[in-house]
Homo-oligomer: A and B are copies of this chain.
């Protein structure tokens, strides 16, 4: 007895029909009688037959598309809301989405693993771009929030320079005099662990916050706790800060929590502004003002790039495609 898997051939033999008839029954094709269809389906079920998805996709005319999505963490609503948007955007095109997060490994490892199952990979890839492209083995990569610098890498970037300049201007108009920033710390583990590099958000902040405020920066972990902790350290070092920009909304929630704990009135004593535009921010007390990133636009741009690459008719190699999305302030009550 062959010990391998049960194939279409086994079913055909058991049912006393041809392979083709089994295909017709399994896939609900029309050219088959009710009787034989049911016979085939029954014997397939009895044998526990399961079509090989690789074989059927290889033989089939229409290949189904799949895109890999690499996120920082599924525990940060920013990423999951982005994932939600991407699903919404690609579902109508019939694309599948394979999910992965940095919590499971190096970006390079994730890309290598996904490259065997996806036709394109989009998301956040910290690390060396050349290494990423090599790991992708020809599968196109679309990177978020960082420009593409090598062939095979494409990008959707965020224009924080424009956005943060406008944000700070408006905050000044609302009375802000002394800014502070709770910036993202270097990742503790994985790719590039411990190697801190100023984020684009910080760079934009330092360019526009004014000389007094540019130095009022602390780094903190990407979590609610991290934000709380960061605010405490910021206020200890810079008691005169009256307006704080926090790296993202999750951390800003922690900062607001800390402010409340310390008896600091928001926005009376301290204006707090996050970045992301999470809908959850509206449930805070007071509701969180934020520099909102249009996740739908990000998802659409990324999907657009993938579409161009995969279905654009142009044969590879393709020059890097880069699109830009500009965040916009969402004024609620914390600033």
Residues of A whose CB lies within 8 Å of any CB of B are 6, 26, 44-58, 63-64, 66, 69, 73-75, 77, 80-81, 83-84, 87-88, 91, 94, 96-101, 103-105, 113-114, 116-119, 137-139, 224, 253-254, 257, 260, 279-280, 282-285, 315-318
Contact = CB atoms under 8 A, between A and B. Distances in A.
Contacts of A94: 113
Contacts of A98: 66, 96-99
A137 B51 contact: yes
A88 B104 contact: yes
A99 to B, nearest CB: 5
Contacts of A257: 283
Given A6-B315, A57-B116, A116-B64, A137 B26 contact: yes
Most chain B CB within 10 A, of A52, A80, A224, A316, is at A80
A87 B104 contact: yes
B99 A83 contact: yes
B283 A260 contact: no
A12 to B, nearest CB: 15
B74 A96 contact: no
In order of increasing CB-CB distance, the 7 nearest A-B pairs are A48-B316, A74-B84, A80-B80, A50-B138, A54-B58, A91-B104, A54-B57
Contacts of A84: 73-75, 101, 103
A46 B73 CA distance: 35
Contacts of A69: 99
A315 B48 contact: yes
Most chain B CB within 10 A, of A63, A260, A318, is at A63
Contact of A91 (B54, B105, B224): B105
B74 A80 contact: yes
Contacts of A254: 283
19 contacts: A45-B138, A48-B315, A48-B318, A51-B138, A52-B58, A53-B119, A54-B58, A56-B116, A74-B81, A74-B83, A77-B80, A87-B100, A91-B105, A96-B114, A96-B117, A97-B99, A98-B98, A254-B283, A283-B284
Most chain B CB within 10 A, of A81, A91, A100, A283, is at A283
Given A253-B283, A285-B260, A50 B113 contact: no
A113 B53 CA distance: 12
